[in-house]
Structure 1
Amino acid sequence: MDGLALCPRFEKAVTILTKRWTSLIIFQLLSGSQRFSQMQEALPVSGRLLSERLKELEHEGIVIRTVIPETPVRIEYSLSDKGLALAPVIQEIQTWSSEWITKEEVE
């Protein structure tokens, strides 16, 4: 495998995952479909920023936005297959951080 061909893809992946709140949104959606209000309640992020990140993740094919035609209309967000494929990556980061990052370092 040509290392030069991989580099732009790796850089793109890191750029997506390191954008502020993106990894935490993906982590939140690993537990299943959620409404916007559920995610906003679970994450300390403004509604505007959460909406922006969800749109970006939808554009990247990582998140699926489903409109449920009820009254009132219900919108749910879930991970696509592409998003679900990030589960091992997110879980490994969680394992690594549990082992190597102390509580004092995050306070």
Structure 2
Amino acid sequence: MRVGLLTEGGYPYANGAERRWCDRLVRELAQHEFEVCALSRSAGQESAGWLPLPSQVRRVRTAPLWGEPPYASMPGPARPYRRRERALFAQHFGRLARAISAAAI
């Protein structure tokens, strides 16, 4: 089974708050594959590095919760999503939810 693990300021960072709990979870469920989406809290946390990851962690993606928002560096003023964009998001999110909750065949 593939598992997506979203962490905020913790695993896989060496000085994260929930690192021990998440590390234990991943190591105890060795029969599963993990993809970790880690949100970092500071530049210091990122510079401290990661814990050694077990082989069942196939991928780690990171994103900072600090610093300048990504849209701030884009040219032009920020605008809200339009009706068509919101409808497409709702459609795709609904398909994702149905696929996740569907019985495995």
Q: What TM-score range do you get, normalising by the shorter chain?
A: under 0.3
The structure with the largest strand share of the pair is: 2
Task: Return the index of the structure with the highest Cα Rg.
Answer: 2
Structure 1 length normalisation: TM-score?
0.27
Structure 2 length normalisation: TM-score?
0.27
